[in-house]
Amino acid sequence: MTINKYEKAWLIFSAVMVVAFLSIIGYFSFVAGLQTPQEAEVIDPLLIGEDARFSQPRVEEVIPGELYNVYMVGRMWSYSPRELQVPRGAYVKFYITSPDVQHGFHVVGTNVQANVIPGYVTVITARFEKPGEYLIVCNEYCGRGHQFMRAKLIVTEDEG
């Protein structure tokens, strides 16, 4: 059997690429220790409804004007709640989880960005200094309704 020289070159190139990609994944997994945060809270995606935080997604005022907890669920293809309201300057601690597939969470125009992974509770804290309306979008492709997955964050004038 003879193999065309171009075909042979492609075969070698493909094999080298596979080895290169596996090496990169292996390096970051086992040598650099890149993995989900070990302290991340684990949650059974099927039992989200039994968790008081996620059975009633909401904004919870912890210290008026200073600290707010936001309990959110991102699912195919919406966020609950659909609208959030917090005062400017307050610390906002987001707890987000997913019952189905991986989603993204991005507050457009800010550096608030996280992955929402089924089985884990994503926790991020942010402060919003500029009052106004912010669009929250899913930026992780999650199926045919991905582009409709959004919510609204309203930052009010009253200072935290």
* The token pair that represents 54 in the structure block: 């996620």
- Taking the C-alpha atoms of residue 159 and residue 86, their distance in angstroms, rounded to an integer, is 10
Q: 70, 155, 131, 67: which is closest to 105 by C-alpha?
A: 70
Torsion region of 89: left, alpha or beta (phi above 0 gives left; psi -120 to 50 gives alpha): left
Which string of x and - marks every residue 73-92 that binds ligand CUA (by CB under 6 A)?
----x---------------
Total residues contacting ligand CUA (rule CB under 6 A)? 8
Written as one letter, the residue type at 3 is I
In this structure, what token pair is assigned to residue 62? 């912890």
Tell me how crowded residue 24 is: count the other CB atoms within 10 A of its CB: 10
70 binds ligand CUA (CB under 6 A): no
Note whether 112 binds ligand CUA by CB under 6 A: no
103 binds ligand CUA (CB under 6 A): yes
Could you say whether residue 150 binds ligand CUA (CB under 6 A)?
Answer: no
Among positions 149, 151, 153, 155, the unique one binding ligand CUA when judged by CB under 6 A: 149
- Provide the minimum distance between the beta carbon of 140 and ligand CUA in the complex, in angstroms, as a whole number: 5
Cα 116 from Cα 138, distance rounded (Å): 9
Q: Which residue, 114 or 138, is less far from ligand CUA as judged by CB? A: 138
Least distance in angstroms from the C-beta of 85 to ligand CUA: 22
- By beta-carbon proximity to ligand CUA, the closer residue of 58 and 146 is 146
* Binding status of residue 138 toward ligand CUA by CB under 6 A: yes
- How far is the C-alpha of 115 from the C-alpha of 108, rounded, in Å? 14
Contacting positions for ligand CUA (CB under 6 A): 77, 103, 138, 140-142, 146, 149
